Amino acid sequence: MQEQARVLLVTRAKHARRDLIEGLAPLGWPLGLADRPGAALAAVANRLIDIVILDLVNAPQSALAEAAKLGQRLKAAMASRTLMVIALARPDPLGPLDGLDLILAQPLHPTQMAARLEALARLAIAEDEIALRTQTLADQGQGLEMGQTSQTRAPYRVLMIGEPGPSILALHNALTRSGAEVSATFNSRSGFDSLAGLKPDAVILRAGQDRENTLSMAMAARRNKDDFHLPIWLFLSDRDDATPSEAFNRSISDLIAPGTDEVLIANQVLESARLFRRIKRAKAILIDSRASDLMDAATGLFTAQLFASHLLSLNKAALASHRPLSICVLRIAERPDTARARSEGRLDTVMPQLGSMVAQLVRGEDMAARLAPDLFALAMPATDAACARLAAERVAAVVGCTQFGTAQGQSPFTLEFDIGVAEVTAGEGAAKALERAASLALRRRAS
């Protein structure tokens, strides 16, 4: 599910960035252009911009501080939603600068940049939802733990996997001098175990003769939703015939060319770890928001009252930010085995499992609620109707393949959902869209 981010590149050297501009457009990320800070500020104030890229490639390192100030001004000009700012420059070894969400060193393959844009766009939506959800809970007298402060400030954890060599050792030392906690293992098999136990903020691979297994491990790690945005770096050798596109298609996020300065690479690795940790923190806060005692006791989902209150806030935010907002209604379909389980009192006993499945099968920024005993709803910010339907159908498909009630020593039963989806339209309001979605779900039930 990809949100359509609107991206502005601020550069006076658009011809030098032609590869990036032309490479991102086919990947779904067309770039607008501005040639000076004033034009960028005007564009942010008057257009729908989600991400600004500041081109500092040929600027002195001292220009990074000025770019951070510009980033703060750009963010202030975009009051209706979170604006992300990227600087194309050497990462600052002294740490992150307020106003800049990510610092990337050139050269960058368009696939690399597209992945960063997607991650930042999703993060902006999640952080906006955190602000709204915090207010919704506060209105009910509940606080939202913004947690993981100690983990956020802890040294970055970097896992190095692969055959040892001078380049690995030099990078290991550079990372250690920068304050990172570095662990190392020599092969992909032990590396996979370390990946699960260490929970690193970044991974560095040196494939050597174990190349195929190493790349397979990277792909397996990416299938874990908690590690989907995990930075995975690959050392290239002089005799490596892997193309960048092949490596990126195998779940590698960044490449390290032979002879690259280890201090530059160390700073880039830590910058990618900074973004990953911020993404993890946002996910954790959204998960913690479901730990309130205001949740539905049976399913752990938001109650109808909380959902209605939050939906009003989402509607206002969607209007202000010009982002789409979709609502899905999922009603437990009345099938013979469902009716039998209900009559035996077994349907109520599986509600905790069903609620947990629904919550885990959608994004953290999507609000899942139980509106009535057999009726569930999803509020999906920054999502159009087509993408919302795909998400609802995915939930229904996984639930439909699950056998419930097996723990009670009786015959298991399955559940199906009737689905209704509605995107909030201009002048309609979220409440009306919810009614439309519910009506569509009921109509499917009737048919």
Distances (CA, A) of 300 to 199, 294, 352, 370, 438: 27, 9, 7, 9, 21
User: 419 - beta bridge partners?
Assistant: 330
Distance CA 302, CA 304 (A): 7
For residue 252, the one-letter residue type is: I
Q: Is the whole-model pTM more than 0.85? A: yes
Q: Where are the domains of the chain?
A: 7-144, 151-271, 295-446
Distances (CA, A) of 318 to 125, 256, 429: 11, 41, 10
Q: For residue 412, what are its two tokens? A: 């298991």
pLDDT at residue 136, as a whole number? 93
206-238 b/e (C-beta count within 10 Å ≥ 16 → b)? bbbebbeebbebbeebbeeeebebbbbbbbbee
- Whether 101 contacts 271, CB under 8 Å: no
Are β-strands 181-185 and 202-206 bridged in parallel, bridged antiparallel, or unpaired?
unpaired
In CATH terms, the fold of domain 7-144 is Rossmann fold (3.40.50)
What CATH number does the domain located at 151-271 have? Answer: 3.40.50.2300
pLDDT at residue 150, as a whole number? 47
Residue bearing tokens 């009252």: 305
Distance CA 213, CA 26 (A): 31
Residue 372 gets the label, from left (phi > 0), alpha (psi -120 to 50) or beta, of beta
Q: Do domains 7-144 and 151-271 have the same CATH topology?
A: yes
Select the CATH number that applies to the domain covering 295-446 from these four: 3.90.1150.10, 3.30.70.270, 3.40.1280.10, 3.40.50.620.
Answer: 3.30.70.270
101 in helix, strand or coil?
coil
Tens digit of each residue's pLDDT, the chain (447 residues): 344 448 999 998 877 788 888 999 999 999 999 999 999 999 998 878 999 999 998 888 788 999 999 999 999 998 888 999 999 998 876 655 789 999 998 888 899 999 999 999 999 999 999 999 999 999 988 887 665 544 567 899 999 988 888 888 999 999 999 999 999 888 777 777 787 788 899 999 887 666 777 778 888 888 777 888 999 999 887 666 667 777 888 889 998 888 889 999 999 999 999 999 999 999 999 999 988 888 999 999 999 999 999 999 999 999 998 899 999 999 999 888 889 889 988 899 999 999 999 999 999 999 999 999 999 999 999 999 999 999 999 999 999 999 998 776 678 899 999 999 999 998 888 999 999 999 999 886 544
For residue 376, the one-letter residue type is: F
380 in helix, strand or coil?
strand
pLDDT at residue 3, as a whole number? 42
pLDDT at residue 410, as a whole number? 77
